[in-house]
């Protein structure tokens, strides 16, 4: 089982809280979007309220060694504003400075360790780096679902040096495990019809998700560039559309497996084509007869309406991957229609994937979705059925 921070005695304890503060930055190194900071506030506020001495740790970007532009300083400043209290940033993640800041904390104080990835030992899961991090932890709590698929010092290595009775998950991590876990739950207990709406760039990125959901869902609704590979695998003429030639056999094999199991695979019946990504507008054509010199950049209105109708009647929906090049206005309609349909669905709705979540936010319907996963790669690996190292490391037998 995995304990929640709510079940751990934390008063007067140094609580090491691994959070995901990997926010997008402005060119001037300010915080461009503070959603990730806001997402971990409930866990941090719980720790403060219960008298913990809070030691926050996160990575930011992909630094190669210490890099001032990737300091957590602006993140700490924004967090201090949101919490309405001081956040003490250490000069380095580990070392004399960090040790002193942590040792001087009083109950309810908050320290933030400087960017973990300034030390290569974080990503290489170096034992001595892990031990130094663990020396700041009476209690270890992980709330960073977005990095749970990585076995790093702060997500896995250090946990071995913390007592099993003092390990747990934060509220965000708990929620991710609960909702994504429901999508993979006992087939008899899932609300039906259960649909997986899968789009985005590549079959190669999503095939493991499709395979793992095959024994669970009633139907797949496929859009985005990956639909082209499936359409071509069925013999359609897809013009210049983006196709993964080396995945045609895999797509064909998947369609066959789905058919054998009685699982529907719905592909677009019409698409929006254009001469290229920068075209000012598109043209609606049948999906099996695209003009030779054009490429499919969105699903067409008939497909959107068909998908929306299915989604409206579903009891469980998992959506990953946009239906088209939604970053460009002329090719955003399919993705927007699916976003609205998922929002209107009364069943359990879960959206995962960096671009799909961006589309949901742009559509302004985020508050109508049961759960929006904060992990891009981590949520996909979870749905693929992989055991995420950062989650497995929190398991205790009690
Ligand atoms: P997610 O991040 O939600 O998992 P992906 O990263 O798999 O989604 O895919 C998103 C990308 O796929 C977007 O950049 C989008 O422009 C692109 N895309 C979607 N449909 C098409 C298409 N028909 N042709 C080319 N690119 C597409
Ligand atoms: Mg993406």
Query: Do 74 and 148 sit in the same domain of this protein?
Result: yes
pLDDT in tens, 40-62: 999 999 999 999 999 999 999 99
Query: Do 267 and 340 sit in the same domain of this protein?
Result: yes
pLDDT in tens, 78-136: 999 999 999 999 999 999 999 999 999 999 999 999 999 999 999 999 999 999 999 99
**Above 90 in pLDDT, residue 6?**
yes
For residue 347 the two structure tokens come to 């069943």
Give me the CATH number covering residue 276.
3.40.50.1260
Q: Is 36 among the residues known to form the active site?
A: yes
Which atom of ligand 1 lies at the shortest distance from residue 327's CA? 16
For residue 298 the two structure tokens come to 């969105």
Residue 201 Cβ inside 6 Å of ligand 1? The answer reads yes
**Above 80 in pLDDT, residue 325?**
yes
Q: Please report whether residue 393 resides in a domain.
A: no
Nearest to 87 by CA among 96, 97, 79: 79
Banded model confidence at residue 253, pLDDT cuts 50, 70, 90: very high
Query: Do 239 and 148 sit in the same domain of this protein?
Result: no
Q: Please report whether residue 138 resides in a domain.
A: yes
Domain boundary among 151, 172, 193: 172
Strands of 263-347, DSSP E: 264-266, 270-274, 283-286, 295-299, 316-320
Mean pLDDT of the chain: 96
Q: What percent of the chain has pLDDT over 70?
A: 100
Q: What integer is the mean pLDDT of 144-153?
A: 97
Q: Please report whether residue 389 resides in a domain.
A: no
Predicted structure pTM score: 0.94
- Give how many domains the chain has, as a whole number: 2
Query: Do 158 and 193 sit in the same domain of this protein?
Result: no
Q: Please report whether residue 394 resides in a domain.
A: no
Query: Do 233 and 306 sit in the same domain of this protein?
Result: yes
For residue 169 the two structure tokens come to 């998950």
Task: Provide the β-strand partners of residue 197.
Answer: 221, 319
Q: How far apart are CA 199 and CA 354, in angstroms?
A: 12
Banded model confidence at residue 156, pLDDT cuts 50, 70, 90: very high
Domain boundary among 117, 137, 172: 172
pLDDT for res 187: 82
Residue 240 Cβ inside 6 Å of ligand 1? The answer reads no
Q: What integer is the mean pLDDT of 391-395?
A: 98
Measure the CA dihedral 366/367/368/374, to 10°.
Answer: 50
pLDDT for res 159: 98
Contact in structure between 371 and 347 (CB atoms under 8 Å)? no
Q: Please report whether residue 80 resides in a domain.
A: yes
Query: Do 190 and 331 sit in the same domain of this protein?
Result: yes
Domain that holds residue 103: 5-172
Query: Do 220 and 367 sit in the same domain of this protein?
Result: yes
pLDDT for res 355: 92
pLDDT for res 218: 97
Query: Do 361 and 265 sit in the same domain of this protein?
Result: yes
pLDDT in tens, 269-299: 999 999 999 999 999 999 999 999 999 999 9
Q: Please report whether residue 397 resides in a domain.
A: no
Residues in Cβ contact with 158 at an 8 Å cutoff, skipping those fewer than 6 apart: 16, 130, 131, 133, 134, 137, 140
Banded model confidence at residue 375, pLDDT cuts 50, 70, 90: confident
Ligand 2 mean position to 381 CA, how many Å? 13
**Which among 51, 240, 377, 386 is annotated as catalytic?**
377
Query: Do 186 and 140 sit in the same domain of this protein?
Result: no
For residue 197 the two structure tokens come to 């709406």
Ligand in nearest proximity to the CA of 205: 1
Ligand 2 mean position to 205 CA, how many Å? 10
Query: Do 374 and 244 sit in the same domain of this protein?
Result: yes
**Above 80 in pLDDT, residue 358?**
yes
For the sheet with 88-89, list strands across it. 88-89, 110-112, 53-57, 14-18, 139-142, 167-169
**Which among 216, 354, 376, 386 is annotated as catalytic?**
354
Query: Do 98 and 157 sit in the same domain of this protein?
Result: yes
Query: Do 16 and 147 sit in the same domain of this protein?
Result: yes
Q: Please report whether residue 392 resides in a domain.
A: no
**Which among 202, 234, 315, 328 is annotated as catalytic?**
202
Ligand 1 mean position to 230 CA, how many Å? 15
For residue 48 the two structure tokens come to 């403060």
């Amino acid at each position: 089982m995995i304990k929640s921070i709510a079940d751990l005695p934390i008063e007067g304890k140094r609580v090491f809280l691994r959070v995901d503060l990997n926010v997008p930055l402005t060119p001037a190194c300010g915080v461009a979007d503070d959603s990730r900071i806001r997402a971990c506030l409930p866990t941090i506020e719980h720790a403060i309220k219960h008298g913990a001495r809070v030691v926050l740790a996160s990575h930011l970007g992909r630094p190669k060694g210490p890099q001032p532009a990737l300091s957590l300083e602006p993140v700490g400043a924004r967090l201090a504003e949101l919490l309405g209290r001081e956040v003490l940033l250490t000069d380095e993640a580990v070392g004399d400075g960090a040790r002193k800041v942590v040792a001087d904390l009083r109950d309810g104080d908050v320290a933030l360790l400087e960017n973990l990835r300034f030390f290569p030992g974080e990503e290489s899961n170096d034992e001595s780096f892990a031990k130094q991090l663990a020396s700041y932890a009476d209690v270890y709590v992980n709330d960073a679902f977005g990095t749970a698929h990585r076995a790093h010092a702060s997500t896995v290595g250090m946990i071995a040096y913390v007592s099993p009775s003092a390990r747990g998950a934060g509220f965000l991590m708990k929620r991710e495990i609960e909702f994504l876990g429901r999508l993979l739950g006992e087939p008899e207990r899932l609300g039906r019809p259960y649909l997986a709406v899968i789009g985005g760039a590549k079959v190669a990125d999503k095939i493991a998700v499709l395979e793992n959901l095959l024994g669970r869902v009633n139907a797949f609704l496929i859009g985005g560039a990956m639909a082209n590979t499936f359409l071509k695998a069925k013999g359609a003429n897809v013009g210049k559309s983006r196709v993964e030639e080396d995945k045609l056999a895999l797509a064909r094999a998947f369609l066959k497996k789905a058919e054998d199991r009685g699982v529907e695979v719905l592909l677009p019946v019409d698409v929006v084509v254009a001469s290229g990504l920068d075209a000012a507008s598109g043209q609606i054509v049948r999906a099996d007869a695209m003009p030779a010199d054009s490429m499919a950049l969105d699903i067409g209105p008939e497909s959107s309406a068909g998908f929306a109708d299915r989604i409206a009647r579903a009891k469980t929906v998992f959506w990953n991957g946009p239906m088209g090049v939604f970053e460009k206005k002329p090719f955003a309609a399919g993705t927007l229609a699916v976003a609205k349909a998922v929002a209107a669905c009364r069943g359990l709705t879960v959206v995962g994937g960096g671009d799909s979540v961006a589309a949901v936010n742009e559509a302004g319907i985020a508050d109508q979705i049961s759960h929006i996963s904060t992990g891009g790669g981590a949520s996909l690996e979870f749905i693929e059925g992989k055991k995420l190292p950062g989650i497995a490391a929190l398991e205790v037998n009690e």
